[in-house]
Amino acid sequence: MIKKFILFALFFITLATAAHQGAPQSIGEQAENAINLPAKPTGTAFIVISKRDLTLTVYDHNASGDTVMVAQYPCCMGKNKGNKVKRGDMRTPESPTGRPFKITMIQDASTWRHNFHDGRGNIKAYGHWFLRLETPGHRGIGIHGSTNNESTVPGRASEGCIRLLDKDIITLKEHFAYVGMPVTVQPEDAAPQPWEERALQATATR
């Protein structure tokens, strides 16, 4: 009996290992595997969202005071390119130079629904968390999950918000996000800043 139990245990361990090794890794998973995630938000991290690269990158400062990249996730932006002008234009607002947006609320959105008027009806659409942003002149913009819309990440399909994969919004909230966190949204034609390139290079050589 003990011998049979051991054989069954080894069989299931082998299956689990094979499934894990065969699963593709997202950018977020790769970052998590390469970097030790903090137990809770540091309160000094900040976010840069690139419309050009369709990425959300979290930066922080190390013990030497250098800016380092600590996580990066694929994201979905507004369906239409350009800066948001009015409600319903399907664009993601861009933060003015030197004046990042800020996270004002972290809300449980696990039961929130939305009708995209595409025949699917009123469906769950926000993942577990909604990180509401202060975006002067525009209301209702935030960073959230993509329940029932994960195939759009990365891509351009939202009504103006920034969508992450459901698992990535959970990791972002648990390890990095905090009320007051600066969030810079770069326009499509924005090239990486020198400090961004240095942070990326430093991450690659770790």
Tell me how far apart the alpha carbons of residues 44 and 74 are, in angstroms, rounded to a whole number: 22
Task: Give the domains, in start order, of the chain with CATH numbers.
Answer: 26-204 (2.40.440.10)
Q: What integer pLDDT is reported at residue 65 of this predicted model?
A: 84
Enter the pTM of the model. Answer: 0.81
Tell me how far apart the alpha carbons of residues 36 and 71 are, in angstroms, rounded to a whole number: 10
Tell me how far apart the alpha carbons of residues 158 and 111 are, in angstroms, rounded to a whole number: 19
- Rounded to 5°, angle at Cα 35 from 48 and 196: 30
Q: What integer pLDDT is reported at residue 103 of this predicted model?
A: 98
Phi, psi of 131 (to 5 degrees): -95, 100
Tens-binned pLDDT, residue by residue, of the chain (206 aa): 444 444 344 443 433 443 333 333 444 454 444 456 888 898 999 999 999 999 999 999 888 888 999 999 999 999 999 999 999 999 999 999 999 999 999 999 999 999 888 889 899 999 999 999 999 989 899 999 999 999 999 999 999 999 999 999 999 999 999 999 999 999 999 988 888 988 887 776 66
Which sign, positive or negative, has the C-alpha torsion 180, 92, 86, 129?
negative
Q: What integer pLDDT is reported at residue 205 of this predicted model?
A: 62
Q: What is the DSSP string of 29-96?
A: HHHHHHSPPPSS--S--EEEEETTTTEEEEEEE-TTS-EEEEEEEE-EEESS-S---STTS-----PP
Question: Of the candidates 64, 75, 68, which has an alpha carbon nearest to the alpha carbon of residue 35?
Answer: 68
Q: What integer pLDDT is reported at residue 17 of this predicted model?
A: 41
